[in-house]
Chain A
Amino acid sequence: MSVNYGSKRTVVGAHYGLRDWLVQRGTAVIMTLFTIALLAQVIFSRGAIGYDLWAGIFAAQWMKGLTFATVIALAWHVWVGMRNVWMDYVPAVLLRLVLQVLTLAWLFACTAWAFQVLWRM
């Protein structure tokens, strides 16, 4: 870690600095708003949750917007978190790189799918 530039640069390391740390917090705040909005409507409902109530929660335009923002925030948050996990447990550079790329593919695929669901409504 003494030399971390030129040919010794860790290409699968963190972006040293404040950005990822701040991203993790910012995205967490967005997801917190979503979680509170969803929990409040589910916990204080009466009886079994039917389609009307469930779809109704996501039908409001503000909830659609919040859900959309949450999907993006979640993907970014998970990227930072999973990259930290790989950095902690996988020291081999090539394997770590492969896992990081797979993580990105996994997250892109899930995000696109969630967008499809939201746009279909």
Chain B
Amino acid sequence: MTELAKKRPEFRNINLLKDVPTYRMPAAAVVSILHRISGIIMFVLLPFIVWMLDRSLTSEISFDAFTAVFRAGAGFVPGWFFKLMVLALIWAYLHHFIAGLRHLWMDLSHSSVNKEFGRKSAVTVLVISVALALVLGAKLFGLY
């Protein structure tokens, strides 16, 4: 053991607010933490998701009342705000979905588990999930 080796910095009791923001996370780490965050968001909003399924499917009347919230808003909250909230939920789902596909692929293919594939596939996940969210966002905001 040289003196230099003994003096390597130790990281204990890592502070979430002081230490974690200083990390330079590679793309795979970003995908990983977003996978967890998006999962938790969807877990918390699960009743809201089932409520949307309920209102949109039960009858034509409930469907009209439901879509009216997105067109005209509810109370003082404008419709576009609800659309943005749902778009955030759509992105959370798509990110979780595509990051999950990446997991499945890495489970199936040993040869794809290396540093380079990890980085490339993580960037791909981020790009595809945002692109798909944009397409569905265009649908949501009536662009096509």
Q: Shortest CB–CB separation between residue A36 and chain B, in angstroms?
A: 10
Mostly, the B contact residues are: helix
A48 touching B57 in the complex, CB below 8 Å, given contacts A43-B135, A54-B63: no
Question: For window 49-71 of chain A, which residues contact chain B by CB distance below 8 Å?
Answer: 49, 51, 54-55, 58
Complex-state Cα separation, A58 to B39, whole angstroms = 25
The A/B interface has a contact count, at CB < 8 Å, of: 67
A29 touching B104 in the complex, CB below 8 Å, given contacts A54-B63, A113-B54, A117-B58: yes
By a CB distance below 8 angstroms, the chain B residues around A29 are 104
Counting contact residues on chain B (CB < 8 A from A), the size range is 20 to 34
Any chain B CB within 8 A of the CB of A114?
yes
A113 touching B50 in the complex, CB below 8 Å, given contacts A28-B100, A43-B139: yes
Any chain B CB within 8 A of the CB of A97?
no
By a CB distance below 8 angstroms, the chain B residues around A32 are 97, 100-101
Any chain A CB within 8 A of the CB of B47?
yes
| Interface, chain A (partner B; CB < 8 A) | 25, 28-29, 31-32, 35, 39, 42-43, 45-49, 51, 54-55, 58, 78, 81-82, 85, 103, 106-107, 109-110, 113-114, 116-117, 120-121
User: Other CB < 8 Å A-B pairs besides A39-B132, A42-B136, A113-B50, 7 of them?
Assistant: A28-B104, A54-B57, A78-B39, A81-B39, A82-B39, A114-B53, A120-B58
| Interface, chain B (partner A; CB < 8 A) | 36, 39-40, 42-43, 46-47, 50, 53-54, 56-58, 60, 63-64, 93, 97, 100-101, 103-104, 107, 132, 135-136, 139, 142, 144
